[in-house]
Amino acid sequence: MRAFGKAISDVARSLLSRPDEIMLEVGAGGELLVARLRVLVAALLLLLPLLNAISGGSVNETMIGLGGAIFVNVAAQVWLHLAKRKRRYYWLPFASSAYDVTATTLVLILLAFNHLPSALNSMIVWCGYLLAIMMTALRNDGRVTLLVGVLALLQYGWLIWGVFVAANSPEQLISIEYGTVTMSAQTQRLLILAVFTLITTTVVYRMQRLVEMSGTDGLTKLPNRTWLLHRFPRLVDAARSEGATLSLALLDLDHFKRINDEIGHQAGDRALRHVVRVLNGKLEGDEWLVRLSGEEFVLLLRRPMGSAWERVDLLRRAVAEIPFVAERGADPQRITFSAGLASFPADGNDLSALLKRADTRLRQGKAEGRNRVIAREH
């Protein structure tokens, strides 16, 4: 029972936390796709008033449907315009998803003013809730899915209450076109909304886990190269807009092949995790450590070059001062690293250019005897 409770707690924590950089990037693409789908669906909605009129529907219902369709089409174009500016508006997935739910509720309210049963028994309009919930899966953010699901339940539950309160007699809830409105049927609809929310949330959680695994190094649990490729452009954009400097340090453990040969690869893996623990214990909030491959790491710092050199050199000394002990009774292994620094915008404007410059300086540090940090070529 305790294990089950912990599993539920882990799932809830994952869903309610901010997705990692890869998920946010994928979600931005999903938001744009949703915006395009919304435009398509909105265009198709223009046909509904026409079909209603042809099939003998009332003039009031036709005009309500037409007005709602026009509003939805205008709003769809606005959301599409915002979604094209990827990730500029962090609130966009929440706002657009809430709009999808609320637009459905507003149309049902308009129908209620014309004919009470149509507000609760109009299956076509009610399916807008299901579409809004399902489309959140494309945004890859569990917070958005939970928001939409709860919002749909609350708004539709409030609508049910309002319709039953507004009905002065049971006869007002009976309609030739829409059938009889019953509390049992409405409770079932609320249950369906809850089930759709649960299923979509499960899909989003699964996607989050898969994407997190693709952006995380299995051995050290650090972000990996995939994460770096997605995260770095955002950091550059932020530094450019703020007129700030972003520094990158390329770290390589000295003579690590010798450690693997002497104490074995399994102990070598433990040595890597030891170094990561030491570094993580010293990192500050605006610093990110990434494992590129093997014994090579990247450290990102929102600092100018001089300050970045001081920080990386402090970390170098910290790693050197805490030896690695492979097993009880074994001789301590002193591990050091060499590093080359590069900064944006002085040394380059993209990740490739900065890594190339940092690698040049790293090689210089290796050639000069290792266990040192190089910020400028001689």
The lowest-confidence range among 24-28, 111-115, 135-139 is 24-28
- Number of folded domains that form the chain: 2
Using one digit for the tens of pLDDT, what is the confidence trace for 290-343? 999 889 999 999 999 999 999 999 999 999 999 888 777 677 888 999 999 999
Domain end call among 169, 193, 214: 214
Same-domain pairing of 136 and 167? yes
Same-domain pairing of 99 and 170? yes
Same-domain pairing of 245 and 335? yes
Using one digit for the tens of pLDDT, what is the confidence trace for 39-57? 888 888 778 777 777 777 6
- The pLDDT confidence band at residue 157, using thresholds 50, 70 and 90, is very high
Q: Answer whether residue 17 shows pLDDT above 80.
A: no
- The pLDDT confidence band at residue 9, using thresholds 50, 70 and 90, is low
* Inside any domain, residue 220: no
Using one digit for the tens of pLDDT, what is the confidence trace for 174-187? 888 888 888 999 99
Domain end call among 160, 185, 214: 214
The Cα-based distances of 130 to 70, 135, 149, 194, 195 in angstroms read: 21, 9, 9, 10, 10
| Strand, coil or helix: 246 | strand
* Inside any domain, residue 34: yes
Reference 247, options 110, 96, 65, 373; nearest CA is 373
Average pLDDT over residues 226-240: 84
Average pLDDT over residues 126-151: 89
Cα angle: 29, vertex 35, 36; to 5 degrees: 95
- The pLDDT confidence band at residue 25, using thresholds 50, 70 and 90, is low
- CATH number of the domain residue 273 falls in: 3.30.70.270
Q: Could you tell me the residue range of the domain that residue 92 belongs to?
A: 2-214
Same-domain pairing of 168 and 248? no
Same-domain pairing of 241 and 127? no
Q: Answer whether residue 219 shows pLDDT above 80.
A: yes
* Inside any domain, residue 49: yes
